[in-house]
Structure 1
Amino acid sequence: MVTQPVAGEFKAFSAVCTHSGCTVSKVANGTIDCPCHGSRFAVADAAVVAGPAPRPLPEKRITVTGGEVRLA
């Protein structure tokens, strides 16, 4: 899951919810949302905003070059 919390700053996180392994489905209103049980994670650091997820989404290393975002 790739977010842009601030213009020009990109972050990437695992798309697997830390609650029960569902795939997070959308980014909206400042959160990354899981459709299975309602967990929400902050777009800036993937911290848990609303549970039942027990931990943040793991961050992934990325590079941004020429408008392309790639896993590092």
Structure 2
Amino acid sequence: MTTRATRRTVLLASGAAALAAGCGSGDDGGGDSPDTEGSAGQELLPVADVPVGGGRILGAEEIVVTQPEEGEFRAFSAICTHQRCLVSEVADGTINCPCHGSRFNIADGSVERGPATRPLPEERITVDGNTVRRA
């Protein structure tokens, strides 16, 4: 008996092959991808744009650059560790989330006030002359 492919079996087989190809090796796409980590050396902003005792939120890059003391620059993820909201302001020594009121220290990203329980992850930056760049 010969089995004949129908339109339905061809479509089902094609869909299964596409699904299997989409599953890949289990790599989540993180790591070296410039789309998830940002480009090393990317210019972020002039140092003059980061006030001493404060900071600047770069929403598109999802980074907060701070200057806790004159000439000391730090950077953190701008995504709150509580429920992944984008932080909205840097004021009075803290990085502030508008969603539930979490506040993070500008010097080390630690939680000053919850509900967040984890600090903001640090981002690697360098200061090149008058420019802050991704490291």
TM-score by length of 2: 0.53
Equivalence map 1:50-65=2 (5 Å): 50-65=113-128
Q: What's the counterpart of residue 92 of structure 2?
A: 29
TM superposition shift of 1:54: 1.4
TM superposition shift of 1:68: 0.6
User: Which structure features the higher share of strand residues?
Assistant: 1
Aligned length: 72
**2:118 aligns to what SS in structure 1?**
coil
Structure with greater Cα Rg? 2
Whole-Å Cα distance in 1 between the matches of residues 70 and 97 of structure 2? Answer: 24
Provide the alpha-carbon RMSD of the alignment.
0.5
Identity %: 68
Whole-Å Cα distance in 1 between the matches of residues 104 and 114 of structure 2? Answer: 9
Q: What's the counterpart of residue 80 of structure 2?
A: 17
Unpaired runs of 5+ in structure 1? Answer: none
- Return structure 1 stretches of 4+ with deviation > 6 angstroms: none
Equivalence map 1:35-46=2 (5 Å): 35-46=98-109
Matched, 1:7 2:80: no
For 1:58, the aligned partner's letter is: P
Unpaired runs of 5+ in structure 2? Answer: 1-63
The structure with higher relative contact order (CA 8 Å, sep 6+) is 1
